[in-house]
Amino acid sequence: MGRDLGERNREAYARYKDDVRKEGKPFFPRAILHDTIMAFVVVAVMIALAVIWYWDAGDTPEGEGLEAGVLGPLYTLPADAGTTDFIPRPAWYFCFLFYLLRIFEWPETVFIATVGIPTIALVLLLGLPFYDRRLERRPSRRPVAMIAAVLTVLSMGVLTYKGATAQEALGSELLKLVPDWAEEQGFTGDEQANEGARLFAVSGCLNCHIYLGSGTGSLGAPDLSDVGDRYEPQALVRYLTNPAEFGNTVMGSYAYLGQENLEKLATFLDASTGDK
């Protein structure tokens, strides 16, 4: 048809208005009845979830409500910046992001996962009515849109599932690796370095870093197996006290560990000179 899109759009909408006026049904009470039933269902589901969550959670010796039921515990232990044996778990609807971080683990690509993909997704969503301008609304005549939608749903589903079920090593499990590390790096006899290694295992460093094949390697944190080649011990203490000084805004300060512990950590890191 030769007529321009704007004109055809306006015609179609005028036809819509006309049809609704002539053949439509009144919003009240016909359509609002469906809405009201739906509203009750929503509230009922919320109540049901709350009841299952509350009644299925149990008590542990450490306190009421700490034992998880099917919908999880009522709360976990109080927040403690010093604990090391806790695995971060985001709300399920952020799990996809969590997993993207694992995929883009190399430092230069992290921001693709954290900012790039979400930003592109948002822009694509916002712009949708402006690049998909055809009049056609029937799904059977919109193959590209439908395929894109199916692919999006599938990949979001897979990422969410993988993120929600991803396993991470607990500090207590990593502790068992310390003797192997000591042997490989040759600091078996150095008690200071060994203590540093144990601190390293339980301080959550491996939630970001990799050390001799252990750890996750996310958020662009480098492999620390040979970090001793790159820094002097005193610089390492400074690094851990204030990572921002070294241009690292991702890693938090570990000053709370105390000067003595930081020196142990630094001794351990300094002794880490590579896996060969």
Partner 1 sequence: MAKRKTKRQLLVDTAILAPIDWLDERTAVVGGTKYFLFRHVPRDVSWAQTLGFATLMAFMAQTLTGAILAMYYEPSAAINPETGKPVAYSSIEMITNELTLGWLVRGMHRWGASVFIILLFLHMGRVFLFGAYKYPRELTWITGVLLLATGMLMGFTGYLLPWDQTAYWATVVGINLNGTAPFAGPWLAQFLASGPEIGTSTLARFYALHMLLLPGAIFALIGIHIYLVTRLGVTSPPWSREAAGRERAEVQPAGGRAGLVRRGTDGGAK
Residue that the structure tokens 């990949």 belong to? 155
Inter-residue contact 207 to 201 (CB < 8 Å): no
In terms of CB distance, is 194 or 207 closer to ligand HEC?
207
Q: Does 248 bind ligand HEC (CB under 6 A)?
A: yes
Give phi and psi for 60, each to the nearest 5: -120, 170
Q: According to CB under 6 A, which one of 203, 216, 267, 272 is a site residue for ligand HEC?
A: 203
CA separation (Å) from 168 to 106, 120, 212, 229? 18, 29, 16, 28
Give, for 36, the enclosing helix (H) or strand (E): helix 32-56
Q: Does 12 bind partner 1 (CB under 8 A)?
A: yes
In terms of CB distance, is 159 or 227 closer to ligand HEC?
227
CB-based burial label for 185 (10 Å; 0-12, 13-18, 19+): buried
Inter-residue contact 272 to 224 (CB < 8 Å): yes
Residues between 108 and 167 with contacts to partner 1, criterion CB under 8 A: 110-111, 114-115, 122, 125-126, 128-130, 132-140, 142, 145, 149, 153
Is the omega angle on the peptide bond into residue 29 within 30 degrees of 0, that is, cis? Answer: yes
70 contact, one of ligand HEC, partner 1, none, CB 5-8 Å limit per kind: none
| Cα separation, 135 vs 191, whole angstroms | 74
Interface stretch with ligand HEC, choices 21-29, 114-122, 182-190, 248-256 (CB under 6 A): 248-256
Q: According to CB under 6 A, which one of 29, 247, 260, 276 is a site residue for ligand HEC?
A: 247
Residues between 21 and 40 with contacts to partner 1, criterion CB under 8 A: 21, 23-28, 30-32, 34-35, 37-39
239 contact, one of partner 1, ligand HEC, none, CB 5-8 Å limit per kind: ligand HEC
Greatest Cα-to-Cα distance within the chain, rounded to the nearest angstrom: 90
In terms of CB distance, is 86 or 212 closer to partner 1?
86
Count the residues in the chain. 276
In terms of CB distance, is 178 or 205 closer to ligand HEC?
205
Q: Does 73 bind ligand HEC (CB under 6 A)?
A: no
Interface stretch with partner 1, choices 45-53, 177-185, 231-239, 262-270 (CB under 8 A): 45-53
| Angle between helix 233-241 and 259-271 (nearest 10) | 130
Q: Residue 134 corresponds to which amino acid?
A: R
| Cα separation, 217 vs 205, whole angstroms | 10
CA separation (Å) from 187 to 2, 17, 23, 123, 265? 81, 80, 84, 52, 13
Minimum distance, C-beta of residue 219 to ligand HEC, in the bound complex (Å): 5
Q: Does 236 bind ligand HEC (CB under 6 A)?
A: yes
The SS3 call for residue 49 is helix
Q: Does 246 bind partner 1 (CB under 8 A)?
A: no
Binding pattern to ligand HEC, positions 80-119, x when CB under 6 A? ---------------------------x------------
The contact set with ligand HEC (CB under 6 A) reads 107, 200, 203-205, 207-209, 219-222, 224, 227, 230, 236, 239-240, 247-248, 250-251, 254, 265, 269
